[in-house]
Chain A
């Protein structure tokens, strides 16, 4: 008996090239010998890959050969045997005896399927008949062709299977035949009813070896019984391709109209998207991708739902029109390519989008769903690419391309055909729906049927794949041929609307998009003029006459009076307010003085301009202005927003404390990265603590070291506590460090006093609580200070409310005005 490797070795070079083309994984990396090629071709992974690409009929044929050659003693089946095994020779196994030679079509299809399996080296023929490639049985799995695994029940107690199960069944109780029939063509496992007539039938079948109990509740039809009952067949009927002849057919004009409408819409929306992001580029998420808020904003601006917005964004990005700008805080912005694209006509813009869509590995339909970790999937997220997507797009569109023109099968039919084409790798229904939806949005489909531009796109793609660019049709030209002729006339109406009764020419569309708001599109375009839209046109540089002339030229009749009035009215108000930039101003009631300044060449550096006889503006800053004017011998004063004269104008510079700045930086940088830093700091802290510990001992030993610069925490706390005690009692000496006021010569008034704001507040609160008197030193607005003896009532919200017992008056002062507080010894 010949072997598979022998068979391969006998193939011609052309055959081998064809094989390597059909199964490209065999060629990479290049196998060194034929033997290694054969080994690779029979490896599990390569067989799986080959099986994933075959249709249901080829799979049946392969299964049939595997089943028929299972018994090493059985002769290799011929093609005719396979035809019979898959049920292609007759209507079905029920009347198997009535062999049907007229079933020619199915016969031929099975023959072709056998040839295809041979071409893929899944089967190999020799003089005896067909053989399965080694390893194929394993690759197909144990339950092929709806049969139970060959070893099923082998390890369980089982009654010997009858040689002629049909004969046994003839004596079976009622219901038994139905049970067997239900399991006959697979799946071979059924739930066994407990008790009842059906239960009894099952018990009888098990007793006669026709069924095997899988577990307590399930029974299995053993493989050998099934094969005998199938009478040598492996399949009930050949899996012929589902016909899509029932798909509705759309008229060419409808397909053309809807596909071009969709194509134009998508091109327009992508253009709007680019302009939108040019103005306000959305940021890139840390993980890459577009934030959901930005997506929502984009969807709103484009007036589409978020799913479509995600698709548009992805399509534009696939076409290279959008990209991450790579800045430090990155944003998505239009690319240089986008400018080139924007300059092309609609068909070419479309073709670019469509080509890149077809080849794109992106899965925009997943946007908005959650991934395994529960994170929302974002548009433009790098994770959203799947290598199989381009293949799926092709195969879905190929289904449509294979039908007659205008056929619009629904998603069910397309999915059914795809399931038949690749039963070992069926694309999920949702992705097929998504691809069809995308194709509809793009205009590759119109009213559900492949458009001529879509067809051209597919043919071009196939031609380019085959390296035959010269014969590739131009999708752009196909789209252009389907576009309805452009209309350059608009019907303007008294209610300030306009209607273009068809597809507007690019010039007209631009005019109307600038000067009006588009209300609806479709077969026609309707627009509405409002004061806002007219102003927008004027802002863009048009004049009223210019705008009216252009509208008049495009209008069928004359421009309606209300519209003309609107344009003129808006133009009248346009520019009534003028805005500009200046840095400072000079004003004076003396126009002559200002005129002199504006003309003075020595002041030219200030950039003085007269806005009104009494107002000049300058490009220089206020400080500079004052300085230069004073140098000129004038006496300017600065004023604030309310016109009050301000004396000091140099802005006080302030910086945050270093520690605060560092803390902020750390917060901005985010923690983990700087962990070593944290650890080092912790180490330092520990070190400090150790030293503090040591010094605490020293302090304890020294007993009195308040001025020690290495004052440690414990000592400091002790000092605070001591001070607090001193404050409460109104006696005792506060430790003095640096800013603290030294107790004065008069203990009655100065003792225990403080100018430290925090301590002062403490003193005030305590005094309020104890209803005692304190001396406070208040600083007035003019900088002079006065001392007053008061009884604090309340300290709250940065204010002190207190009673002045001498003046019998209450006063409220801001605490920042209090320079120092000294407890008065005794209440009056």
Chain B
């Protein structure tokens, strides 16, 4: 196509011009195999990676389709070497399969004997493979199913896991769709997951990942182990499940630092699972406590490394990963792929927003010029002190005041890292503070009050970043935060992007001290948010009064 919307670069990035007439069709066509890297206003960048291509293969797309799609939408001739590479990469997936053999049990079956030989020769597979049955099959030690998949992926020959799953202990679970129902994309996500067997569903914060989990549980109707990041999140899962499914409180157990209940549906925290005593993981028995039919991993991108090792032993059970992003700060995306499974569903944030499920958010960075005495203090401070000095600059208080005043009456969150600063701000604007020290009960009470509109302002520390549910927050003000990691941004934005009853625009403010490391971190944040396609504006604190 001489005038297509897509430009294929030789470095394997795909540039999609969004204003083009065919942009939407093209986006749908390339979404299965290309990973959206950034989505600013004019040109979206996708990238072809081996993992992405294998994800596509796992979902049933073949190289010919990919090549045809590229040729169809590309504006310029597609680099020949890239097409060859796509075909070669995709051909590597599924040459090896993990299957159940009627006699030998779990075997690695090769469609191409040469690949089997290559893999068996590798030192990395030593100890994972057993006796060779014939030219194309070799016995796999059942305990090494996960480990083998990891190794094969590293060798560049990702195996297709067709060995199936244990049924698990049956337990009736149904969705209680009284006055609500799963949204179409949630249904689609559940379907895709179920047909794929195991895998990851990628949905933005606020798009109802919990419901996808509930849907998968209803589909499975077996005992389920749910792994979540922390206790607050565990309680939210429990509440949501009680509300949305036929499960009652008695059927749901919490397995955390404080309680150790094992029930048909058990919600455990990562922390308790990764607790070591005398070098031994003391709570591993939970994984075998029941014959789980489904294991759900919440926030897969935060999954701690030890959990991967444990998951390697859980390969016979269905696994569902839920996350807002497959990007891991530690770069272990490949472990997610091999141990939990390929991506089964992915919806670009912007698309979901366009469907009205997420409030559009507007990001504003407020740059604060430090007064001279603070600048001097900053300039002479030790490097490790600098961030704290910049982050807790006095002037931020005034900016928060202004923003709070501007959005008076709207549910507003102030997020920060330094407790002194948070307490001061809270006192000043007359709001409560939630920190790591706040008792769970008190936390819940405040969240409930916030949710019900009883209070409209809340100051939260880092603990609030992960998996709490504040459906009506429409303004967030970040005064400090560590190192602007991509995860953190996704979480923070997630706070305020829950569907709004009013459909009003959400606002995300970050207050940054000018010419300090604070501003450098803000640059990361700006890049991330703008790449996600959010309107991003930078204003000077002095201009805040007149800024929109």
Contacts and interface: CB of A to CB of B under 8 A. Distances in A.
Interface of A: 250-251, 253-254, 256-258, 261, 447-448, 484, 491-497, 499, 501-502, 520-524, 526, 556-557, 560-562, 565, 573
* Closest 5 A/B residue pairs (Cβ): A495-B530, A522-B9, A523-B76, A493-B40, A257-B77
Nearest to A256: B77
B79 A560 contact: no
Given A258-B77, A258-B79, A493 B538 contact: no
Contact of B15 (A253, A447, A501): A501
B40 A561 contact: no
B140 interface: no
Contacts of B137: none
A524 B7 contact: yes
Contact of A257 (B17, B76, B538): B76
A254 B526 CA distance: 38
Nearest to B535: A494
B538 A556 contact: no
B325 interface: no
B101 interface: no
Given A254-B77, A257-B76, A502-B75, 10 more contacts: A250-B80, A254-B78, A491-B42, A496-B530, A497-B38, A501-B75, A520-B9, A520-B11, A520-B13, A526-B45
Interface residues of B, number: 30
A249 to B, nearest CB: 12
B10 A522 contact: yes
A523 B8 contact: yes
A493 B535 CA distance: 10
A522 B11 contact: yes
Nearest to B43: A499
A492 B42 CA distance: 8
A526 B44 CA distance: 11
Given A257-B76, A501-B75, A523-B76, A495 B531 contact: yes
B42 A493 contact: yes
B537 interface: yes
Contact of B538 (A448, A557, A562): A562
Contacts of B185: none
Contacts of A253: 77
A1 B535 CA distance: 99
Contacts of B9: 520-524, 526
Nearest to B529: A495
Contacts of A491: 17, 42-43
A520 B79 CA distance: 14
B359 to A, nearest CB: 19
A556 B80 contact: no
B209 to A, nearest CB: 26
Contact of A560 (B41, B74, B75): B41
A522 B8 contact: yes
B85 interface: no
Contact of A561 (B15, B79, B80, B538): B538
Contacts of A521: 9-10
Nearest to B5: A501
A494 B525 CA distance: 12
B80 A447 contact: yes
B85 to A, nearest CB: 13
A261 B10 CA distance: 10
Interface string B120-144: 0000000000000000000000000
A562 B8 contact: no
A1 to B, nearest CB: 61
Contact of B7 (A501, A562, A565): A501
B64 interface: no
B41 A562 contact: no
Contact of A493 (B13, B41, B76, B79): B41
A448 B43 contact: no
A484 B76 CA distance: 9
Contact of A499 (B11, B15, B80, B536): B15
B391 to A, nearest CB: 19
Contacts of B530: 493-496, 562
Contacts of B78: 254
B66 to A, nearest CB: 17
A494 B527 CA distance: 8
B259 to A, nearest CB: 45
A302 to B, nearest CB: 16
A522 B79 CA distance: 9
Nearest to A254: B77
B37 to A, nearest CB: 11
Contact of A573 (B45, B515, B531): B515
B361 to A, nearest CB: 13
28 contacts: A250-B80, A254-B80, A257-B76, A258-B77, A258-B80, A261-B79, A484-B76, A493-B43, A494-B41, A494-B535, A495-B531, A496-B527, A497-B40, A499-B42, A501-B17, A501-B43, A502-B7, A502-B75, A521-B9, A523-B8, A523-B75, A523-B76, A526-B15, A556-B42, A560-B41, A561-B538, A562-B526, A562-B530
B536 to A, nearest CB: 5
A495 B527 contact: yes
A494 B11 contact: no
Nearest to B537: A561
Max chain A Cβ within 10 angstroms of own Cβ: one of B10, B78, B515: B10
Contacts of A560: 41
Nearest to A528: B527
Contacts of B43: 491, 493, 497, 499, 501, 526
B88 to A, nearest CB: 15
Contacts of A251: 77
A509 B526 CA distance: 26
Contacts of B8: 522-523
Interface string B99-130: 00000000000000000000000000000000
Contacts of B526: 495-496, 562
B509 to A, nearest CB: 15
Contact of B536 (A492, A494, A501, A557): A494
A251 B42 CA distance: 31
Contacts of B537: 561-562
A524 B75 CA distance: 10
B493 to A, nearest CB: 15
A407 to B, nearest CB: 14
A526 B14 CA distance: 11
A204 B15 CA distance: 75
A821 to B, nearest CB: 49
